[in-house]
Each structure stands twice: as structure tokens, then as C-alpha cells.
Amino acid sequence: MTLNGIRAAATAALAGLATITTLAVIGWIASPHPGLGLNGVLRTSAVLWLVGHHVAVEVHGAGRIGMLPLGLVLLPGALLWRAGRSVLRTGANTGPQQVLSAALAVAVPYSVIAGVLAIISKSALAKASLPQAVLAGFAVAFVAAGCGAARTLVPWEKLGAFMSARARSILAGSAGSLALLAAAATLTTAVAIANHVHQIRAVYGLLNPGLVGAGLLLLAQLAYLPNAFVWAIAYMLGPGISVGVGTVVSPTGSVLGPVPAFPLLAALPGGPHSSAPGWLAAIMLAMPYLAGAFGGLLAVRLVPQTVVDAAAIRGFCSGALSAVLLGILAAFAGGPLGNGRLSAVGPSAWQVMVVGTLELGISAAVTAGAASWWYGRSSLPAQPVRPPGPARNRPPTHPHTEPGQTSIDNEDGHVIYLDRWADDHDPADSARGRHGPSDLP
């Protein structure tokens, strides 16, 4: 499996590097720069490949660039997914331990390749961090290749069988909350872009990228769209985002300074007071609570037979898990854009995590507890009510009576057994120790 892992890691790295190099060469041909030869283009391609793995770059004269496009991670992720599947297909599929072996077989050589590219791509213009390149390359390869190998071993619909019902309910609630927030963030981003079309056109006119440059600029904006979605979620949670030190963008108002000339940033709302209607800001602030309630309801729907306290705890855990994931995404969606004022751009990871835990977790806990109480109340069996009236002529048969016996319930709730053939018993049966209910004193 080791040789297969090395081969798969090298194939994935070369395929991703070839794609990035092609785009860099197109941009170099479309707008040539004096002093930047083909060697410089190849080094730039290696740096961009490392940026796709979320490796920060130190740019000469600008500082550290750490706010990197999340969408660019999809390219190496998809290639490493296929690498993990190919390694497990060629090996012996003996069990889940093979998934870990396949992930390590791809991740270790892939991290070595990332480290080598970080070394050879250093130039006077930019250099990538070597330790971060090795760690980020290993992390991306391990996760993507491991998921691909797991998918080859077990279909998605059967992966839940390896988890307990409690874990499945928590994951289902968290997935539901994140899905609702993602849908709301997508809608918010689309509305913001539609409302700032004139500002975006003005930025394009200022840059004047040309036809090919406009296409590459569009690809860059598409790569930054996942960052914009995470920013929109932080915006709805309340902490908002910052585009430089001392700035904030929130539903109630914004304080902005000079913004980099990037078309997607032109869609940010400006002004100390929100220009949107008050009811729209209220809906956006209420969206995290609705997402938490939806997640809590899903957690209870998956495992309805539980007590109220346990259901509330599961709901809170699902909301807290969603908040932790959002905090991690917020940490990767932001970062510095150089030194000085732009050293802090994007949402605050710890604020998103704390506020998200309070909003999503508490709303999910309350909803899950209320839903569990309602399900338990509606599933209680109806108690039979015996209508008052005279004793029936024919007493009902008790489930524990023997053949030839009947039973009736007296007013005190005691069972009285009647043997209609008590006089027909053979005296020899009593002598041999055969007694029945009629022999009771």
C-alpha cells in the first residue's frame, strides 16, 4: 500500500499543480510583466498551489497574506479524494483499519511534496511558510484521502450503522442547523451583490483587467465565495466581520475605512446605521435561533423515545457542535491581508464560537425538550374506562384461568375464580395432591 500511496499522492499533486500552472501562464501571457520570466511564473504557480492548501504567504513590501480563498481547497480535495479511493481499491479491504492506512499512505508523501514546493518556490517577491506547508499538506491529504477511502469501503447510507443513536441524532441536528444557515447565507450574499452592482462595476472599471484578466478575476471571486458565505453567517450571528483594525460590519450598522479594490468587497454594506429595513435586520438576527430550533427538532425526530432532559442535552450538543464548526470555518475564512491596518480581516473565530453556542445551543435545547415532551404526551396509551352498571350475566374470562374455570373482578379489584365443575372432581385427585382454586378455604 505504501507504493500505491506514493503514486497516488504524486499524481494528485502534479494534477493540481498543472491546473494552477495553466491558469498562471494564461495570466502571464495576457498581461506580461517585465522581469517576470517563465521561472517566476512557475514559482508563482507553486505558491498558488500552496495557497490552495491554506498556506500563508509572506509578500515582499506587503506583509503576510493569510486571508486565502476557501474555494481553492476544493481542487486538491477532489484529487486527494480520488487518491484515497484508488489506494484502497488496489489494497486488501479487510476492515476500517485499512482506511487509516490508506489515508496515511497518501498524506505522508503528499506533505513531503508540499514541503519541497515551499522550498523551491521561495523568491525575492514571495515565500511560503515551510512548517505550515508540511502541516497543511498533511491535514488536507489525510482528511480528503481518508474520506475517499471510507466511501470506497462503506456506502454513505451504511456509515451511520457504526454510530450510536445518540451520536446520529446530534450529527443530524447539527447538519440541519448548518444547512439552514448556509441557505440563509447564500441568499444574503446574493442580495448584497445584487444591491451593489454599480459599486462592483466601478471597481472593475478602476482595475481595467481586460478580457482575460476579467475571467481570471471572476475565478478568484468564485474561489472567495465560500469565505463570503462564512462572513454572512458571522454577520447574522451578531459579532459581524472586520475589514481592518477598528472596523466592523454588522446588521445594525457598519464602520469601514478604505477597502482593497476587490469586486466582491464592494458588496459590503457601509454607513454607521443599517440601510436595510428594520424588519429585515430582525429576521437576519433571528435566523440563528431558527436554525438552532430546526436542529433540535431534527435531533428529537431521529430518536423520539427519550426523556425531556436527555433530549434537551442532545439538542444543546447539536447546537454547540454547529458553533464549533462555524468557529473553525471563521478562523480559515479570515486572516491578514498585509501589515498595518489590514492585519485583521474577517470574522473573529472565538466570538463566532461563543455566540453561536449560546444562540444555536440554547434554542436547540429548548426546542428539543419541548418536542420530546410533546411526543411523549401524544404517545401515552389511553386508559380504559369501565362503564358503571349492573354486573354482567356472564363473567369475563381471566387470562390466567384454566380450562373449565371463569373469573370475575369484585369491587375491590380482586380476582375471584369460579369452578363450575367443583362437585364433579374425583376424590382421588385430592388424595394425590391435585388442588385447584375451588379447593381454597
Distance of CA 143 to the CA centre of its chain: 14
Contact 266, 276 (CB under 8 A): no
pTM over 0.85: no
Using alpha carbons, list the distances in angstroms from residue 220 to 13, 74, 215, 308: 21, 13, 9, 49
Gap between the Cα atoms of 192 and 330, Å rounded: 20
User: What pairs with residue 338 in β-bridges?
Assistant: none
User: What pairs with residue 253 in β-bridges?
Assistant: 250
Buried b (16+ CB within 10 A) or exposed e, 243-265: bbeebebbbebbbbeebeeebbb
User: What pairs with residue 243 in β-bridges?
Assistant: 345
Residues 6+ apart with CB under 8 A from 23: 216, 219
What is the pLDDT tens value at each position of the chain, 441 positions in all?
Answer: 688 889 999 999 999 999 999 988 888 887 766 666 778 888 889 999 999 999 999 888 778 888 889 999 999 999 999 998 888 776 555 566 788 888 999 999 999 999 999 999 888 888 898 999 999 999 999 999 988 888 887 766 666 666 778 888 899 999 999 999 999 999 999 988 998 899 899 998 888 888 888 888 899 999 999 999 999 999 999 888 988 888 888 887 788 878 888 888 888 887 665 656 677 778 888 999 999 999 999 988 877 666 888 889 999 999 999 999 999 999 999 888 888 788 888 899 999 999 999 999 999 999 999 988 887 776 555 455 555 555 444 455 445 444 544 444 444 545 554 555 555 555 555 545 555 554 544
Q: How many CB atoms lie within 10 A of CB 59?
A: 15
User: What pairs with residue 407 in β-bridges?
Assistant: 417
Residues belonging to the chain: 441
Residue indicated by cell numbers 479511493? 85
Gap between the Cα atoms of 221 and 401, Å rounded: 81
DSSP 322-381: HHHHHHHHHHHH-B-BSSGGGG-EE--HHHHHHHHIIIIIHHHHHHHHHHHHHHHHHTSP
